[in-house]
Structure 1
Amino acid sequence: MPAFIDLPKIQFTDYDVQSILDKALNSLQNKTGKVYSKADPDRILFLALMDQIIQLRVLIDREKKADLLPYARRVMLDYLGTLYGVVRLPAAAATTQLRFNLSTQLSTASTVPGGTRVGVQNGDGTIFFITNQAIIIPPGAMFGMVEATANVTGEVGNGFTVGQVNTLMDPLAFVANVTNTTLTGGGAETETDDAFRERIRIAPESFSTAGPRDAYIYWAKTASASIIDVGLDSPAPYEAVVVPLLTGGNIPGQEILDAVYESVSARNRRPLTDLVKVQAPKEVSYDIDVTFYISSASTAESEVIEAKIRTAIDDYRLWQKSRLGRDINPTNLIGRMYAAGALRVEARSPVFTAVGKLEVARETAPNIIYGGLTDD
């Protein structure tokens, strides 16, 4: 399905303040035959009333635009979504796989109850993971695996590395220790207006089970609000490869991949003959090695400019990895640095590199050098 058709900007009411006031005041003076000075009480009262009328014009324009998908926001976007059966994705909690290790081999089965809490190493106890169900460790076995979900929703539960979730908050007999075996992920804030608007736009594609490209993208994005982009390829007849990318350019873990597979492979959503595969994006690594200089004329504000330049570099790093297939573009990086106030930029890397449609560019440890003040 094509992107939004390029239509001219629309405005339902004119609310140019000065133009409206000039026309209204001229009309009033022509009808009354009186010229109002700036201090005239009647003129002041009239302008006060016109101020309310102008605000109404702005409100009318804004509310009328809310009927259109490109302009709708917040609750109006939710109402537009209902026309296509699309509901905004709520905030989601991060998940991970936990491994409970026993202290000794038992001759009887051991149970880890559902709802068992496991905290983060050196954490303050505000974030912990809760087992989704009870597991029974058979006699003779030394460990059991179970999926667990964070106690809070949002991205705050993402990114805990393997082994970092290891503090058993509900002591269990014969359990020596517990640890997460996968990176925590899948946590997401409530779906943003832009992401929700895009799903509404491609929703009509989901009405077909003939295998349209955007149908797979639509159903993949419904699996989690943390999915920011979806790549799709068909390397062989009747084969569909779906590749999700998470917010912040993060690589999805197995839990997200499983959720996407479940969403896109339902029998009522895909052609019977399609072989669906869901996989993580392939990473294309690149280096950032730059030196920047600030004009000597800006000595007094050089610290502020330096901070802006470093922020511009961070923004570029996020931009570069926020979409699949986005080529590594040093021109974008250099442009951002100049716009932030750099006088001169020496960029040794990155160099332009093409990125495949199922790949994502991710930076390694950047080497950013402030070369000081210069007149050149």
Structure 2
Amino acid sequence: MIDEILNLPDVSFIDDLQLDDVQAQLVRDYQNRYKEITGKDVALERADPMSLILYALSIQIYQALLYVDKTGKQDLLKYSYGEYLDNLAAMKGIAREQAKPSRAMIRFTLSGIRPNTVEIPEGTRVTNGEIYFQTESPAEIPAGGTSVDVAAECMTSGVAGNNLETGEINVLVDPVPYVAKVANTEPTTGGADIEDDDTLKDRIYIAPSKYSVAGPEESYRYWLKTYNANISDVLIYSDDPVDVTIEFIMTDGELPSESMLLGVQKFLSDEQIRPLTDRVTVKAPETVDYKINVKYFVNQSDLKKVDTIKTAVNAAVDDYIIWQRSKIGRDINPSQLIQQMMSAGAKRVEVTLPVFQVIGKANVAKLSSKTVTYGGLEDD
């Protein structure tokens, strides 16, 4: 969820009442009313039968108050969820995005050079034996050629088709004359499950931008998030009038595949999305390589849990790698690495690499090698 939503002030439709407050109020009301009727003060001990009755009532009353608070909050973007959020989105003309299929470029290779054009029909299916993909458009291998790359999408929506390695999709389901082999030229990516609440909230928040026809940055950001919920960070800039460059990365900072870039380019070319005066270029951000070489030490007093700390520190390094690549233009920052390792239980961290580096607004950090060394125990 974006910071603008997270940083909105908290609200309570019941003035932050707690169960103890309701119980105390019931006791006070009973005592005041008793004195009005009898003219006498009454003290209620906790085990008094009337106290027990009032406490039991207070639980039901407090439960009702919680429902009141919840009902009020479902009209607010910060708190809304599930079907309530869907109804809130409908007020902005937005619907939760359904699951999206993953994509890949598939290379069709002939058994040999042919004197005539070989056609690859649209919808030709390929598989790794479990997950099936089909080509999105017809393609041709011209006379004298041996192969052609065709964009394909998974026939099963969701993340199930993601992360198939290069060459793993290598079975041709629908025979094509003279085609000897097929293989994906890139890992599969772009599959997304049904849009989650946080992503939908982000789109609702920036939804007013979609009504503009002037091509503002937020409008393009909205449409990219609509295309695929797994697009995590977007950079839009224009170095020259008319020209608009869009760079983006996927969940956990993964770079978009060629087929994903082609899909976004086609999606943004829709005349209802792209202003007529904009020439849009979609690409992956350039990467800046960095290395990790660190040694860490653990307090002597933590001897009994050193194995647990080792596991936590290694996980912290992996989390740092994801953090480092999860935002375009994020500087390479060893201070963040030290902080996460120490939070995981390290007493002291020696960082040889990386060193702090400004990478530029249109770049993203990419890990090239990782060395994490346990240096042993030290006195507290």
Query: What is the TM-score with the length of structure 1 in the denominator?
Result: 0.88
Structure 2 stretches lacking a partner, 5+ long = 35-40
Worse-matched range after superposition: 247-256 or 125-134: 125-134
Equivalent in the alignment of 2:71: 63
Equivalent in the alignment of 2:26: 24
Q: Does the aligned pair in 2 maintain the 1:119–1:168 contact within 8 Å?
A: yes
Q: CA shift at 1:27, angstroms?
A: 2.7
Q: CA shift at 1:251, angstroms?
A: 0.9
Amino acid at match of 2:102: A
Q: Does the aligned pair in 1 maintain the 2:294–2:371 contact within 8 Å?
A: yes
Any idea what the Cα deviations from partners look like across 1:259-292, whole Å, max 9, x if unmatched? Answer: 3223334333343322221111111222121111
Distance 1:194 1:291, change over 3 A: same
Q: CA shift at 1:26, angstroms?
A: 3.1
Distance 1:7 1:246, change over 3 A: closer
Whether 1:244 and 2:248 are equivalent positions in the alignment is yes
Distance 1:355 1:75, change over 3 A: farther
Which residue, 219, 223, 229 being the options, matches 2:227?
A: 223
Give SS of 1:244's match: strand
Supply the distance in 2 between the matched residues of 1:262 and 1:347 (Cα, whole angstroms): 44
Q: CA shift at 1:104, angstroms?
A: 4.5
Distance 1:294 1:240, change over 3 A: same
Q: Does the aligned pair in 2 maintain the 1:99–1:179 contact within 8 Å?
A: yes
Supply the distance in 2 between the matched residues of 1:163 and 1:367 (Cα, whole angstroms): 29
Whether 1:207 and 2:215 are equivalent positions in the alignment is no
Give SS of 1:365's match: strand
Give SS of 1:72's match: coil
Amino acid at match of 2:155: N
Q: CA shift at 1:70, angstroms?
A: 2.0
Equivalent in the alignment of 1:366: 370
Equivalent in the alignment of 1:84: 92
Q: Does the aligned pair in 2 maintain the 1:222–1:263 contact within 8 Å?
A: no
Structure 1 stretches lacking a partner, 5+ long = none
Equivalent in the alignment of 2:156: 152
Amino acid at match of 1:95: R
Whether 1:356 and 2:360 are equivalent positions in the alignment is yes
Distance 1:24 1:188, change over 3 A: same
Q: Does the aligned pair in 2 maintain the 1:289–1:348 contact within 8 Å?
A: yes
1:106-121 pair list within 5 angstroms: 115-120=123-128
Alignment RMSD: 2.6
Equivalent in the alignment of 2:11: 10
Supply the distance in 2 between the matched residues of 1:73 and 1:170 (Cα, whole angstroms): 44
Query: What is the TM-score with the length of structure 2 in the denominator?
Result: 0.87
Identity of aligned residues (%): 37
Equivalent in the alignment of 1:298: 302
Amino acid at match of 1:40: D
Q: CA shift at 1:207, angstroms?
A: 0.8
Which residue, 78, 83, 96 being the options, matches 1:75?
A: 83
Whether 1:96 and 2:98 are equivalent positions in the alignment is no
Q: Does the aligned pair in 2 maintain the 1:286–1:362 contact within 8 Å?
A: yes
Worse-matched range after superposition: 306-315 or 163-172: 163-172
Amino acid at match of 2:17: Y
1:40-59 pair list within 5 angstroms: 40-59=48-67
Count of residue correspondences = 371
Q: Does the aligned pair in 2 maintain the 1:224–1:256 contact within 8 Å?
A: no
1:204-353 pair list within 5 angstroms: 204-353=208-357
Q: CA shift at 1:317, angstroms?
A: 1.5
Supply the distance in 2 between the matched residues of 1:8 and 1:318 (Cα, whole angstroms): 29
Any idea what the Cα deviations from partners look like across 1:293-316, whole Å, max 9, x if unmatched? Answer: 111111112212222222222222
Supply the distance in 2 between the matched residues of 1:321 and 1:186 (Cα, whole angstroms): 17
